[in-house]
Amino acid sequence: MSSIASLLFRKFLLSYVRIIPQSTTPATCAMEQKDPTPENMTMMQGFEWYVPADQKHWRRLKEQIPNLKSWGIDNIWIPPGCKGSGKEANGYDVYDLYDLGEFDQKGTVATKWGSKDELLDLCNTATKTGVGIYWDAVLNHRFAADHKEKCQAVEVDPDDRNKRISDPYEIQAWVGFDFSGRGDKYSKQKYHWYHFSGVDFNAENNKTAIYNIVGDKSHGWAEVPDVDDENGNYDYLMGADLDYSHPEVEADVLAWSDWLAQSIPLKGVRFDAIKHFSAKFVQKFVKQLDEKYGKGWFFVGEFWKDSLEDMKKYLDHMDHQFSLFDVPLVYSFSEISQAGSADIRKVFEGSLVQCRPTNAVPHQALEVPISDWFKPLAYALILLRGEGYPCVWYGDLYGIQGEHVCPPSCGGKLAQLMLARKLYAYGRQADYFDHETCLGWVRYGTHDRPFGLAVVLSNAGPGTKRMHVGEMHQGEKWSDVLGWSEGEVTIGEDGFGDFTCGQCSVSVWVNEGALDRSPFERRGFVDTLTFPPSSFSNSHIYG
């Protein structure tokens, strides 16, 4: 071997030994035989409530697929793609499950988000890019009925739905669904009063109340625990409440799930408002898709209740082949963010991710206010730790439209936090939860993703943590990929470093020589999303 070749080989060998955490016993060749460490998975809610109602959202989202993939997004939960009550309907007021923007119904062909062809184009592009699509299934109720029907009903106490506060009497309810714009294409099923268990409006006298539909063909409310026991029985939420004990309802919606899976390339389903309709039906829905299309689908439910015990009971009922959004954690984020110098060590107490991490989807939600300054801390807590399958919100990444326009959250650094998860948040985790207002943790990396990271965050004054990142990193210089803490930290011979963060802030420290550090050095992440002139900008720059 020539002297030059020998020198190059020695440099390669030294570099290899330095970046691969070495064991005291196994040989390097044994390490090479280890299975590759799978890339961290991250989900994104691909919309926010006030996205412009210009029927262009599917196209905008399609344009962003390459960026989102490069930042670490593996799956996108898209908004409800079924026809709602009108052109500006978000789809949670669902009218026709089988109309994905194909038929002239409710004053429009396309949905708020776009046409069926554009939806298919988005899903096909995502699939080719390696990004999965999760469907938002709104199965609890229907809105925008085509005509009224007479039926018998009783009024019930809003705080105790099992308590009748009237005798049965005849009402006129908006419960007739003909789907005349679609006809019998895809499904011949029409809906009438006996397919529903309740409504909240009597067109006979224009009275608003909660009406439980009764009669020879009616089955009443679903029973607890098939639905949640809040308000005595929380079967009724809004609109015309579907009765899944009726065989025609069950058969039609199960047929729809099969039709949807064959029509659109999907990887999973997000169930809206699952505590309000039959858990037994959800089991059948999941089982059917698993048996027909394989167990690679992901299923997650919105069980909006700040009760860990109730969430655990639901998961037990579903045999754990299911996930739930971590609502208790969202409330914890909210309370800490608005309480000043709260004890942040308790942030995960009572959360789903703490006790059932494999079933937990930690996230942030518009429904619960979280102070802007705390959002980077919250995202660090859900993205850079080992537990849970985190979900990033579109409004935090791209900003919020509507009457109260807001720019992207996290000071424009959310994409960097996502990328840090994708590149460095691997391996064993060591927590430094030893101060009321300042936390830290270390991810040590793995045999093939060896760089690791160190995180420090504070919900009060500036913070410092002396943390062990490993002797294999001695002499390395680490810096904050977010750029919020200046300077470098040199790792000592003992593998320790003194890591800092600013006041009410977070810093993510990584070896300056780590693979793929260059994207963090860019001035910003630029996207090509465009909105009407009333929006705060025509392009949003992160960083």
Task: Give me the half-sphere count of Cα atoms (radius 13 Å) on the Cβ side of residue 509.
Answer: 32
Query: What pLDDT shows up at residue 521?
Result: 65
247: Cβ–Cβ under 8 A, 6 or more apart, which residues? none
For 297, the token pair is: 């689908």
What's the rounded Cα separation, in Å, for the pair 285 and 254?
6
d(CA 519, CA 535): 28
Q: Which CATH number fits domain 142-247: 3.40.50.620, 2.40.30.140, 3.90.78.10, 2.60.40.10?
A: 2.40.30.140
- CA distance linking residue 260 with residue 254, whole number of Å: 10
Using DSSP, state whether 149 is helix, strand or coil: strand
| Spatial separation of the C-alpha atoms in residues 8 and 496, rounded to whole Å | 30
CA 540 – CA 524 distance, rounded (Å): 10
């990396």: which residue's tokens? 445
H helices present in 114-246, as ranges: 116-129
Q: Which of left, alpha, beta for 399 (phi over 0: left; psi -120 to 50: alpha)?
A: left
74 is catalytic: no
- Exactly one of 48, 93, 243, 272 is catalytic; name it: 272
Nearest to 207 by CA among 163, 171, 238: 171
Q: Which residue out of 102, 302, 476, 480 is catalytically annotated?
A: 302
Domain ranges of the chain: 3-37+424-521, 43-136+274-422, 142-247
* Closest to 501 measured CA to CA, from 439, 531, 456, 451: 456
**Based on the number of CB atoms within 10 Å of its own CB, is 539 exposed (0-12), middle (13-18) or buried (19 or more)?**
exposed
Decide if 512 is catalytic.
Answer: no
Classified as helix, coil or strand, 130 is coil
Is residue 13 packed enough to be buried (19+ CB in 10 Å), middle (13-18) or exposed (0-12)?
Answer: exposed
CA distance 392 to 379: 8
Longest dimension (CA), the chain: 99
pLDDT at 340 (0 to 100) = 75
The answer to whether the beta carbons of residues 508 and 380 sit under 8 Å apart is: yes
CATH code matching the domain that covers 3-37+424-521, chosen among 1.10.3720.10, 2.60.40.1180, 3.40.50.720, 1.10.287.180:
2.60.40.1180
Residue 383's nearest CA partner among 361, 398, 350, 406 is: 361
Please enumerate in sequence order all residues whose Cβ is within 8 A of that of 348, keeping only pairs 6 or more positions apart, or say none.
Answer: 329, 332, 354
Could you give the 3-state DSSP secondary structure of residue 387?
coil
Q: Write down the residue that tokens 């002297």 correspond to.
A: 3
Q: Which element (helix H / strand E) includes 25?
A: none
In the CATH scheme, what architecture does the domain 43-136+274-422 have? Alpha-Beta Barrel (3.20)
Angle of helix 414-424 relative to helix 375-383, nearest 10 degrees, comes to 20
Q: Which residues contact 393 (CB under 8 A, 6 or more apart)?
A: 44, 45, 48, 363, 364, 365, 366
Does a cis peptide bond (omega within 30 degrees of 0) precede residue 225?
Answer: yes
Say yes or no: do domains 43-136+274-422 and 142-247 share a fold.
Answer: no
Each of the 543 residues of the chain gets a pLDDT tens digit; together they read: 433 333 333 333 233 222 323 333 233 333 457 899 999 999 999 999 999 999 999 999 999 999 999 999 999 999 999 999 999 999 999 999 999 999 999 999 999 999 999 999 999 999 999 999 999 999 999 999 999 999 999 999 999 999 999 999 999 999 999 999 999 999 999 999 999 999 999 999 999 999 999 988 888 999 999 999 999 999 999 999 999 999 999 999 999 999 999 999 999 999 999 999 999 999 999 999 999 998 889 999 999 999 999 999 999 999 878 999 999 999 999 999 998 789 999 999 999 999 999 999 999 876 788 999 999 999 999 999 999 999 999 999 999 998 889 999 999 999 999 999 999 999 999 999 999 999 999 999 999 999 999 999 999 999 999 999 999 999 999 999 999 999 999 999 999 999 999 999 999 999 999 988 877 765 344 454 555 443 333 333 333
